[in-house]
Amino acid sequence: MIICYLLESTNLAGGVRVAFDQARLLTLKGHKVIIRAKSGNHHWYHHPIDIDYVNDLASPFLPNTPSPDIVIATFWTTVHAATQLGCRNVFHFCQGYEGDIPEYAGIRQRIEQAYRLPIPKLTVGNWLTKRLQQIYNAPDFTVHTIGQIVDTALFKPPKFVMFSRVLRRLLRRPVKILLIGMFESSVKGIPDALQAIKLVRNQNIKLHVTRVSSHPLSEQEKTITPINHYLTQLPPQTIARLYRQHDLMIAPSHIAEGFGLPFAEALASGLPCIATAIPSHMSFDNTHDYAAFVPPSNSQVMAQALLELLNNPDQQAFLRQRGPQLMQTVFSQNAAIERLEQLCQKSLNH
């Protein structure tokens, strides 16, 4: 099959990386994959990848270039272009529902128009499939769960975890807390986590806080609690090392969050997490024993959970084992790609 992905931008982002991962794995399975994008810089990606940069995603393919059998839109802004390429088999790949994001309230009608187009939707989880079916209940298109990809070969536990923990205690180093996400994005819940950290620090507990974002550190964020290490625009290999170098992570996203890739990557890396009990976070296993779950938007409960986990080395040890075990089971790279491949083939056969 010839499969064409449409991206608004190739700049560093979790959703873009997932599209790249899909394209790479489909290529390894023998398919020809074209990635079209309007702008960006893709050189952060940790595997070789070719991008066809165009001014208009809907521009015709060159006469001597084979037309795609399948076109996959990867964001609501790319859906209309996908329908204009003359391909009979078009999919809309959804990693979250943009219409639920507060910052998009002013353009929600346009988002809904894109989603109402009669093309099948592909989602990263059953929670998102149910959400789209709940909103649209449309007979004009189907919604299919293909699952997500977590690179468990890249995101893996450290080799000498016990030695590093003992060394930290002997040297009386502060516990290292990792917090990933844009402060400016309301669905990420970063202010909630920072307030929780502030409450814990107010009890004379020393914490070393590492923040990772795609944006520079804002003046507003600085006022909540000190940030010991602030990093931006990190490639996947660097993020993987950060997971292995930290003691705990807080995943404070609100319910409108999409998949929340850092949470799954942290679990795969054996990093104990305090996470909000939102559908995407809770979807990995019905036992819900793979993180310390707290209600979203509740800094006080989050702070209490952080204190309890800090004081419970046995629970930390359990989570360091449980996360990688679960991620290896749930997020096999081949599972999501095989489902995607099957749906594409079925579409071609009709």
In a domain, 205, yes or no: yes
List the domain range (segments joined by +) for residue 256. 161-330
- Identify which of 102, 107, 141 has the alpha carbon closest to the alpha carbon of residue 123: 141
Give yes or no: residues 115 and 181 share one domain. Answer: no
Give yes or no: residues 301 and 171 share one domain. Answer: yes
List all residues 6 or more positions away from 122 whose beta carbon is below 8 Å from its beta carbon. Answer: 72, 91, 92, 93, 94, 144, 145, 146, 340, 343
pLDDT given for residue 260 in this prediction: 86
pLDDT given for residue 193 in this prediction: 99
In a domain, 270, yes or no: yes
Give yes or no: residues 301 and 341 share one domain. Answer: no
- The token duo for 134 is 């709940």
Helix (H) or strand (E) holding 83: helix 79-83
Give yes or no: residues 82 and 199 share one domain. Answer: no
Give yes or no: residues 121 and 240 share one domain. Answer: no
Report the chain (350 residues): mean pLDDT per 10 consecutive residues: 97 94 96 97 94 96 88 97 95 96 94 95 95 87 93 89 62 90 96 98 96 95 97 95 97 91 96 97 95 98 98 96 94 86 91
In a domain, 252, yes or no: yes
pLDDT given for residue 169 in this prediction: 67
CA dihedral 326, 330, 334, 340 (to 10 degrees): -160
Q: Is 294 exposed, middle or buried (0-12, 13-18, 19+ CB in 10 A)?
A: buried
In a domain, 155, yes or no: no
Pairing outcome for strands 121-123 and 90-94: parallel
Give yes or no: residues 307 and 339 share one domain. Answer: no
Q: Could you tell me which residues are beta bridge partners of residue 2?
A: 32
pLDDT given for residue 66 in this prediction: 85
In a domain, 294, yes or no: yes
- Tens digit of each residue's pLDDT (9 = 90 or more) over 32-43: 999 999 999 999
- Tens digit of each residue's pLDDT (9 = 90 or more) over 280-328: 999 999 999 999 999 999 999 999 999 999 999 999 999 999 999 999 9
Give yes or no: residues 326 and 336 share one domain. Answer: no
pLDDT given for residue 296 in this prediction: 97
The whole-angstrom separation of Cα 306 and Cα 147 is 30
* CA 320 to chain CA mean position, Å: 20
pLDDT given for residue 258 in this prediction: 83
- The token duo for 162 is 């016990």
Give yes or no: residues 166 and 294 share one domain. Answer: yes
In a domain, 55, yes or no: yes
Geometric angle at alpha carbon 236, from 235 and 239, rounded to 5°: 90
Give yes or no: residues 220 and 177 share one domain. Answer: yes
pLDDT given for residue 212 in this prediction: 98
Give yes or no: residues 94 and 48 share one domain. Answer: yes
For 264-297, the DSSP string reads HHHHHTT--EEEE--HHHHTS-TT--SSEEE-TT
In a domain, 156, yes or no: no
In a domain, 96, yes or no: yes
- The CATH number for 258's domain is 3.40.50.2000
pLDDT given for residue 137 in this prediction: 82
Helix (H) or strand (E) holding 2: strand 2-9
pLDDT given for residue 259 in this prediction: 85
Give yes or no: residues 220 and 337 share one domain. Answer: no
Give yes or no: residues 30 and 91 share one domain. Answer: yes
Total domains in the chain come to 2
